[in-house]
Structure 1
Amino acid sequence: MKLITWNIQRGRGPGQACSLDRVVSDLRCIADADVLCFQEVSSGFSDLAGCDGRNQFAGLAQRLPGYTPVAGLATDVLDEDGGGRRLFGNMIFSRYPVRQVFRHALPWPAHPGVMSMQRIALEATLDTPLGPLRLATTHLEYFSPAQRTAQVERLRDLHLEASLQARAMPGGSAGDGPFSPVPRPAPVLLAGDFNFVPGSSDHGLMLAPFGDSVAPFCDAWEVANAGVAHAPTVCVRDPQPFTFDFVFASADLADRVRAMAVCDAIDGPDHQPVLVELA
């Protein structure tokens, strides 16, 4: 299983122009990925640098046939000028069957005077050659450390909840409409732009143990590249590049992580794609 996660920043490239064609072309140069996780997909935001306001959720789906597209909107507001909707969020694309989807609104506690926005975690249960697993992608708050920490805590709560649900025998049967049980596996991959750096308090919180014998998160980079410092994922051509983009695997999935690399040859937005391989 090959997974690419990428904050595409609306498809920004050299000169700020946004191009989904370039995004898809770059992806195909990296790997024939089975699963894709995107952050910063937009529609209606013609005021963002290089963005023409087109619906990128639909545009990416059109350019990626053979995948099931799953969209998660963090922002869904009225366009006061045009009367349409302004949308912003994440997407998952999967070649594997998508059994169930969750769209989790993450905490957004008040932080006076600090610019911020609603954030979400988009989760899908996939049938993969490794067995059923949960895949989630997220983009945490950048400007407010307090909000970001609250969001990390919520991601941990969601994993705890799902892990305990995986042990429970669901009620209902196949003929019970929305009550029909869909198994929710405990193993999970959590990918995205976390807006914290390795070794930070939020990074440590993400890796903290759980009670109830729940498998903790492992940093997939540290699993695949033991003893090697995280490769930078942001501003890799600047004098001081850094890492914001991670893949976390639950410990019951960590032994399947075979490789993880930052695709630093792509000349696109500030963030580089990250490739993870499991077997």
Structure 2
Amino acid sequence: MRVVSWNIRWGCGRDGRIRIHAIIDVLRRLNADIICLQEVAANHPELEGSASSNQFRQLAGAFGGYHSVEHAPSELYKSNMPRLFGNLLLSRFRLTQVHRHVLPWPPDPAGRAGMPRGALEAVLDTPNGKLRVLNTHLEYQSQTQRMAQVRQLKYLHWEACERARLFQPDPTLDAPYQFGLRPETAIICGDFNFLQDSHEYRELLSPGAEGSLPLVDAWRHLHPHQARPPTTGLHGFPWPDKPECYDFFFVTNDLAPRLSNTEVLSETAASDHQPIVLDLA
């Protein structure tokens, strides 16, 4: 099973032009079973390159064999037209549940506004059983907001683990209540906007509330003595000022034995982030 996570920067490449077709070409070559994208836009002509098209629809249409789910926590209106910015998940596996979580957005005493952020959660029927996948993008400008969002991700993980322990699906309930199993086993991925030596990174991996499965950094599990490759700062983009890693895969520890490969695809300049790949046996 292959999972790809990629902040696509609304399809704007190094040349300042919108090239969603280049994003699609890279994703097709990667041939992933699950695709988690961040910074997907719709009706945002003011963004660099003019992201006026509905990229959620473009990307979903380009992968007709996949189920698609979108979540745009940033939803603004101009002349009664929605301007959307958020996450998209594409899956070859059957969807059984979807949860769109709005992450905390506390006022920052430093005056940094930030933007609404979310986590798009899908429960998938995979050949190895049910799997929760969370596709997220945390705040960049404000550490106050980012830490609150990390703690909410930990809470959501505990909530799912506790519900899996306590809840048994009941087909006799009214239809809206007929949720099946929301499993403990999970992959949490995306653009976290923190570094591996940050307080937020350590907080996410610190022991959670009793009953929740521990989380593991997939890269460090597979490459404990190898420097992590950067996921940003390549190909001459003006941000950031040096190569850094902001994009991660975190998995529950029951998935650790199945991890076979994780890597950064560093050759594409279709976004200021690089796609990251996770392979599980």
TM tier relative to shorter chain = over 0.9
Compute the displacement of 1:115 (Å). 3.1
The Cα offsets for residues 235-277 of structure 1, whole Å up to 9 and x where unpaired, read as 1245730000001001121221110000001122110000100
Deviates more, 1:158-167 or 1:46-55: 46-55
Compute the displacement of 1:195 (Å). 0.2
Is 1:185 equivalent to 2:183 in the alignment?
A: yes
Which whole-Å CA distance do the structure 1 matches of 2:192 and 2:3 have between them? 17
The question of whether the paired residues in 2 share the 8 Å contact of 1:116 and 1:142 is answered with: yes
Match of 1:103 among 82, 90, 100: 100
The Cα offsets for residues 131-180 of structure 1, whole Å up to 9 and x where unpaired, read as 11100010000000000000000000000000000111336325621011
Runs of 4 or more off by more than 6 Å in structure 1? none
User: In the alignment, what sits opposite 2:27?
Assistant: 27
Matches within 5 A, 1:127-206: 127-170=125-168, 172-173=170-171, 176-206=174-204
Deviates more, 1:84-93 or 1:213-222: 213-222
Deviates more, 1:252-261 or 1:133-142: 252-261
Q: Percent of aligned pairs with the same residue?
A: 38
Which whole-Å CA distance do the structure 1 matches of 2:128 and 2:63 have between them? 23
User: In the alignment, what sits opposite 1:263?
Assistant: 265
Is 1:223 equivalent to 2:221 in the alignment?
A: yes
Count of paired positions: 276
Is 1:9 equivalent to 2:6 in the alignment?
A: no
The residue identity in structure 2 corresponding to 1:277 is D
Normalized against structure 2, the TM-score is what?
0.95
Which whole-Å CA distance do the structure 2 matches of 1:51 and 1:184 have between them? 39
The residue identity in structure 1 corresponding to 2:4 is I
The question of whether the paired residues in 2 share the 8 Å contact of 1:8 and 1:271 is answered with: yes
The residue identity in structure 1 corresponding to 2:11 is G
User: Unpaired segments of 5 or more residues in structure 1?
Assistant: none
The question of whether the paired residues in 2 share the 8 Å contact of 1:198 and 1:230 is answered with: no
The question of whether the paired residues in 2 share the 8 Å contact of 1:170 and 1:181 is answered with: no
Compute the displacement of 1:18 (Å). 1.1
Which whole-Å CA distance do the structure 2 matches of 1:174 and 1:22 have between them? 48
Deviates more, 1:105-114 or 1:146-155: 105-114
Which whole-Å CA distance do the structure 2 matches of 1:108 and 1:169 have between them? 30
SS in 1 for 2:112: coil
Which whole-Å CA distance do the structure 1 matches of 2:169 and 2:70 have between them? 28
The residue identity in structure 1 corresponding to 2:258 is R
The residue identity in structure 1 corresponding to 2:257 is D
User: Unpaired segments of 5 or more residues in structure 2?
Assistant: none
Distance 1:130 1:226, change over 3 A: farther
Cα RMSD between the aligned structures?
A: 1.4
The Cα offsets for residues 70-105 of structure 1, whole Å up to 9 and x where unpaired, read as 0011111211xx431111110100000010000000
Normalized against structure 1, the TM-score is what?
0.95
The question of whether the paired residues in 2 share the 8 Å contact of 1:139 and 1:193 is answered with: yes
User: In the alignment, what sits opposite 1:117?
Assistant: 115
Deviates more, 1:156-165 or 1:213-222: 213-222
